[in-house]
Amino acid sequence: MKLDDLLKHTSEWLRGTGPKSNIVISSRVRLARNLDKKPFSNWANAKRQKEALTIIKAAVENTSYLKGALFVNMKNTDELDRHFLMERNLISKEHMANVENKAVVISDNEIVAIMINEEDHLRLQVIQSGFKLMEVWRMIDSIDQELSKYLSFAYSPRWGYLTSCPTNTGTGLRASCMLHLPALMLANQMDKVLDAVGKLGLTVRGLYGEGTQASGNFFQVSNQVTLGRSEEDIIDNIERVINQIVVREENMRNSFLKRNREMLSDRVFRAYGTLKSARIITSSETIKLLSAIRLGVDMGFIKDIDQRMVNELFILTQPAHLQKIDGKVLSPSERDARRADLIREKLIERKGKKR
């Protein structure tokens, strides 16, 4: 498999399947791990970084979940590749710079990804469609256990797993769900929700993690605390909180359906009409409109496309994806035109099929 082959299929987490996938797009867990008695990646010189990379690569290649996985040396990627990987949630922003000894390993269907020499030696990630954090946790836990057969991780009996940044120390675990909350937004209830979520030790971010804004009614909810609690406790806590948010969103959707059906269908169909008509469209407008049609599909207003198509469009319409599809660098205004074309192709072609 080559990097560009990723374009040919849909990441598992975009398939729109799994429990509550109308509201919970994806569930993700990541673990931060470091090699014992080796300097953290950011403190290591090139030689020590390379050493860590070699050791980890060998271990990863032996791991059953990662047979046949794509191994990407970051130094062999260009700017566009890196943005492409970030848009697919496979690497962090930090992983795009100083790439000399960085790598990312990507499993089939992109369910598992391991960044090597990010701020920690290993950043394991498992991401899947729908609301199933516990399942995702069990999967990453077994990968972690398998890896620990080949690698000795930095671990203190008192503190737990040691990490480059102290906020990750302990379990090294960050669990998150990507939520789509258009009804709570429309009802101006999100401030209340965010407030409650904060008090419960969770934090809310935008589409691309730390430092990004929520847009198009998408929110990433994750745990803040990694220390002093067991992994299953952390997962259980975040699952319970998210479950409450999901119930609130569902109730609000039903209440809108009962009381503002016409207003809602107007919004949905206008968004759909604009996406099928525009000849120039920015990325941020696209996200907003896709958010509306995602709601429309869930509520049964739009019947000729499915969630998977909507989820795919979120990813495909991003700047690096557009350029990868075209196989060349595009200026921002070229991208806005290309994006509009792509959306029309997808929505109108799909409509022709009438699945």
Site for its own copies, rule CB under 8 A: 262-263, 265-266, 269-270, 272-274, 276-280, 337, 340
> Which CB atom, from 199 or from 258, has the smaller least distance to its own copies?
258
Q: Which is nearer to its own copies, 204 or 337 (CB)?
A: 337
Measured CA distances, 88 to 45, 72, 101, 168, 319 (Å): 29, 14, 21, 23, 12
Between 120 and 298, whose beta carbon lies closer to its own copies? 298
Distance CA 28, CA 125 (A): 7
Residue (of 140, 143, 124, 144) closest to 132 by Cα position: 140
Rank residues 270 and 303 by Cβ distance to its own copies and give the closer one. 270
| Whole-angstrom distance, CA of residue 114 vs CA of residue 209 | 17
To its own copies, the closest distance from the beta carbon of 292 in angstroms equals: 11
What letter would DSSP give residue 66?
G
Residue type, 62: N
User: How far is Cα 312 from Cα 17, in angstroms, rounded to an integer?
Assistant: 13
Give least dist CB 80 to its own copies, A: 24
Alpha helix (H) residue ranges in 151-260: 182-186, 190-199, 231-259
Q: Which residue has the tokens 């557009």?
A: 322
Q: Which is nearer to its own copies, 95 or 267 (CB)?
A: 267
Which residue, 175 or 287, has its beta carbon nearer to its own copies?
Answer: 287
By beta-carbon proximity to its own copies, the closer residue of 191 and 262 is 262
* Least gap, CB of 279 to its own copies (angstroms): 4
CA 86 vs. chain centroid, Å, equals: 9
State the nearest-atom distance from the C-beta of 349 to its own copies, in Å: 17
**Cβ 120 to its own copies, closest distance in Å?**
46
Closest approach, Cβ 337 to its own copies, in A, equals 6
- Which of 340, 220, 188 is CA-nearest to residue 277? 340
What is the Cα–Cα distance from 209 to 216, expressed in whole angstroms? 15
Element (H, E) at 220: strand 218-223
Taking each helix axis as running N to C, give the angle between helix 332-353 and helix 307-316, from 0 to 180 degrees, rounded to the nearest 10.
Answer: 160
Least spacing, CB of residue 273 vs its own copies, in Å:
3
